[in-house]
Amino acid sequence: MGGMALKVIQWSTGNVGRYALRGIIGHPELELVGLFVSSESKEGKDAGELCGLDPVGVRATRDFEALLALDADCVCYTADAGMRPSEAVDDMAKLLASGKNVVSCSMVGLVHPTTLNDMFTKQLTDACDTGGTSFLTSGIDPGFANDILPLVVSGLSEHWRQIRVQEIINYSTYNQPETIVDIMGFGKPLDHTPVLLMPGMLGFAWGGTLRLLAEGLGVELDEIREVHERRPAIKPLQIGPYPIEEGTTAALRFEVQGIVGGRPALIVEHVTRLDDELAPEWPKSAGSYRVLVEGVPNMQLEYEFQDEHGDHAVGGVLLTATRIVNAIPAVCEASPGLLSALDLPLVTGKGLYKPDA
């Protein structure tokens, strides 16, 4: 596509948002025209300053209505929705109805946007109809590493019987200590049930990924099963402001299984440690995603990444942002409605070559 840059509003400057902001500012096909922040301390600051760049002349605002009235092609919505799913969907529906396409990573189950729940699907579909707009949720996980990557690899099969996607990462530098402690339960007793391990929550978070894979692979899921195990800290650890005492949860492994014909055919597995010495019997890596295809041929794919400072956990956060930012042109070109990865053309690093950066 040639011509004018697409006008983009960035929504939030948190863990993912500041990388999305940096990506939008540096992208030759995109122009930042607005920035929403939720905290008073960031209000009025220049967008460049909030992501470590020189000023760009766009100031952060907490005025929802002003941004709603702004002329923009797309909103990159990265506000945390973990504890406020309905509010996040309300926000995104208002933006879609106002004539702005939306890319997001916030409500992870919406990677398969028609099957998370009927209420959200209807609300977002109606908003797309009203605004003539498109909606995409993606990122790295859910998203790219556990939908596009396994689907591409599956296209090399003669036949397959199981596809497993693993995230193997040390989360000790992941810059959301509240998520690690309150949602994932690190630092809590081994018999404590954190939000993530409440029955149905793993399926709520990763079920969309399994349903997307099932659609792309032409199989019917009988059900989604959840299994997990935990290991204690063997020495005191510190995660941001939170001490992780010896004997409390410091490693978590879970599987979300898509059952086909009574057996696990599609599996999303997370192996999360706060200390590399823990659970030596679990899968290990420097920090990566793996796609393991059992079939003919057997295939193993290891996908490693790190940010510009060599950090794997932060690298994953950065990829969550770049995946949706780089998809903006394709989403703006797409037919109106709810999109999944199956509806997008190949999203590449077109225009992003910078030999001296």
Give 232-249 as a DSSP string. E-SS-EEETTEEE-TTSE
CB-based contacts of 155: which residues, under 8 Å, 6+ apart?
Answer: none
Q: Specify the pLDDT at position 286.
A: 86
More confident residue, 87 or 240: 87
Express each pLDDT in 16-35 by its tens digit: 999 999 999 999 999 999 99
Rounded Cα gap, residues 123 and 119, in angstroms: 6
Q: Any idea which architecture 144-304 has in CATH?
A: 2-Layer Sandwich (3.30)
CATH C-level class of 6-137+315-343? alpha beta
Residues forming CATH 3.40.50.720 domain(s) in the chain? 6-137+315-343
The pLDDT-based confidence of 2 (bands split at 50, 70, 90) is low
How far is it between the farthest Cα atoms of the chain? 59
More confident residue, 240 or 26: 26
- Residue 328: strand pairing partners: none
Q: Specify the pLDDT at position 178.
A: 82
Rounded Cα gap, residues 67 and 206, in angstroms: 31
Rounded Cα gap, residues 58 and 44, in angstroms: 9
Give the mean pLDDT of the chain: 95
The pLDDT-based confidence of 1 (bands split at 50, 70, 90) is very low
Residues forming CATH 3.30.360 domain(s) in the chain? 144-304
